[in-house]
Structure 1
Amino acid sequence: MARVVLSFVPVIKDSLRLSWSIRTMSVHRVLAESILREQRRPLSAREIVESARASGRLRDGFGGQSPARSMDARLSESIRNAGSEGTFVRHSPGRFFLRELLADPDLPAAFRRTYSPAQRAKQKEPRLVMAARSFLEIDGLIPPREVLALVDTDNMQFRDPTEALPPDVLAVWAFVIVTGGGRLLTFRKSSKRGTRRKALGFSAPVTRDDPTLFDRDSLGIVERGLRTIRVSLGPTSFTVEGHGTAVAKLDGFIVSRTGGRPILLAIIRFETGDHTAPFSRRHGITDLRLEDTANVSNGMHLLDPQAEEVFRALTGAGLADFDSLETFGSPKS
């Protein structure tokens, strides 16, 4: 009989430990919910604890020696376990808010955004960089073969995006333009300051997650371009099957100097194959239209700096005729 009783001791201990954990989590949640509802703005775990202490609601010994760290852990665990049905949301790295307040129109829009683990992982994803000393003085389009010849060398690497880069090492970005029927897609991006100047392409940094079986020779540069337009224009705008051969082409590279620190911009041309395809509107993108090259050239003053930089490079290389997918440096028929 004694043996049977003793066999239940670990179970009792585990049950007590679980009960204590649930009770502790509940205390943290109730306290955080109360503070966030009163403050009506996203707060860090430390700010929640300090506000609770200032209002006299923080008991002695709450959270052990690190109450802020304990609060952060409990709220993070609550968000992870409850998912989209939970009381709390992560507003930004290290800051929390109440889900119920996301729909409150009286709060600033900046308070009502959320931040997901996928975004956090993407920010930390190593990005493609290149030692580009030999290209820094080139103003025009650089043939793809001259850059891609360095893929298997130490000149091209994936590095932590927070790492400071030497002046001659440039981050590699994909810049994809969309063409159809010999015309070029132009658009505008709206912002709080109003509608911006006309843009020609969609850009994003190339990361370690981008290379696929079909795009390893270019370290995922073309694939990054295609992913970017799918996100920007919607998955129904284009058919991307077979993009490794006839749909998307890498026209070349330029050293872009319009955004402060120079970057190596890979210019990718994507032919829709449907000249009247309806384009989706996402992320504040407006005024989408397919324009003749002559119209774009005559309205150069309407382009944003990077769009003008790219268009001049393509024109200088004889690639502003979008009737074909011939790339810079390829034999002319």
Structure 2
Amino acid sequence: MDAYLDIASRVLREARRPLPPREILRRGLSAGIVPSSLYGKTQHKTLQARLSEDILFHRERSAFFRTRPGYFFLREFLTDPEIPADYRTPIVARRRRRELAYHQALAFDRSSADVLCNRAIVEPSDVLRLLQTRRYHYASSSHEREVNDVLVWSFVLVLRDDLVLTYRHGRYREDRDNFLQKRSLGFFCPVVHDDLTLFDQADHGIVSSGMRALWVDLHLGADRDLSGGAELKGFVCSQETNPNPSNLLGVVAFHAPEWLEPITRRLAINDLAWHNLHSPVNHYEDFDPWSRLILENIGGLLWSEARCSDAASAE
């Protein structure tokens, strides 16, 4: 179970009543089951997001349910006659589509990004070094940033052998004209403040952020574990100008398990199709700008290690 969900489960089992995420963390800290380094100003929002995602995708199979907006309880108590009836009555929250604007978006200033972007592919270690030395800041949101802010995005490639899953942007997916109705090579979202948790320190939450976006976009979940098989391969720089500022894309390779055969009816995600990465692209202009950038550098991102390994084996 997700570590946040484990904390919530233990606290709610002890409390035997519904609680909001902030109170769950407070009680967990008092009980000594929440590390002090986890307890920050916004960790309750991360806990609420984890609980909401679990309920959304596991539905009746989730260990949790809501009794009213913002209050969570354990499904194991639904039939317990010693628990008051109003604690055992679930509500169904209206599902919202994934946000287009993300608050407190991770960013570098342009001077730091320019040092990184002097080559086509940026090694993960170079970006993580800046993050570990706290040479970053947070923009107000992914839509509200200073002119010199360079946002960090997680860009997930869903791979199967030599195939990559593509889709076409729908009208609610992107509000940039050069993305609308274009085909995309990956599923992406900005990395935000809440993505950095005690459990995502190694990569500042870049991988888990993108995987959660993929989970939502493709309606995945329901007893499926997507935590394995995802790896941060490198970064590419999208050197754009106003009104489309520069961005740093963290390319995550997710090797899809055999059971994954994605379908979706979301207005934001259309025309899902597998594309063979070794086949020439006949309609390059059909892809959005970020996907073109990834296509230009796909060999260096995905196959350089394999080529080195093959060469070593041959020797």
Same topology, TM > 0.5: yes
CA shift for structure 1 position 146: 0.7
Aligned pairs (5 A) from 1:140-151: 140-151=120-131
Contact (CA 8 Å) 1:252, 1:328: kept in 2 or not? Answer: no
Within the candidate set 285, 289, 292, 2:276 is matched to 292
CA shift for structure 1 position 293: 1.0
Within the candidate set 243, 255, 261, 1:278 is matched to 261
TM, length-normalised to structure 2:
0.56
Q: Structure 1's 124 and 270: CA in aligned 2 closer, same or farther, altered over 3 A?
A: closer
Aligned pairs (5 A) from 1:219-234: 219-234=204-219
Tell me what 2:230 maps to. 248
Name the count of aligned residue pairs: 211
Unpaired segments ≥5 residues, structure 1: 1-81, 84-113
Measure the CA separation in 2 of the matches of 1:201 and 1:241.
16
Name the amino acid aligned to 2:210.
G
Within the candidate set 165, 171, 189, 2:146 is matched to 165
Tell me what 1:24 maps to. none
Measure the CA separation in 2 of the matches of 1:180 and 1:242.
16
Tell me what 1:306 maps to. 290
Measure the CA separation in 2 of the matches of 1:115 and 1:239.
20
Are 1:179 and 2:159 matched, yes or no?
A: yes
Measure the CA separation in 1 of the matches of 2:310 and 2:197.
27
Within the candidate set 260, 274, 299, 2:244 is matched to 260
Measure the CA separation in 1 of the matches of 2:306 and 2:231.
7
Q: Structure 1's 228 and 207: CA in aligned 2 closer, same or farther, altered over 3 A?
A: same
Measure the CA separation in 2 of the matches of 1:328 and 1:209.
37
Q: Deviations over 1:200-232 (max 9, x none)?
A: 111111111112444212211111110110111
Q: Structure 1's 296 and 231: CA in aligned 2 closer, same or farther, altered over 3 A?
A: farther
Measure the CA separation in 1 of the matches of 2:222 and 2:276.
20
CA shift for structure 1 position 289: 1.9
Measure the CA separation in 1 of the matches of 2:254 and 2:186.
10
TM, length-normalised to structure 1:
0.53
Q: Structure 1's 286 and 262: CA in aligned 2 closer, same or farther, altered over 3 A?
A: same
Measure the CA separation in 2 of the matches of 1:179 and 1:280.
15
If you compute each CA radius of gyration, which structure gives the higher value, 1 or 2?
Answer: 1
Contact (CA 8 Å) 2:139, 2:146: kept in 1 or not? Answer: no
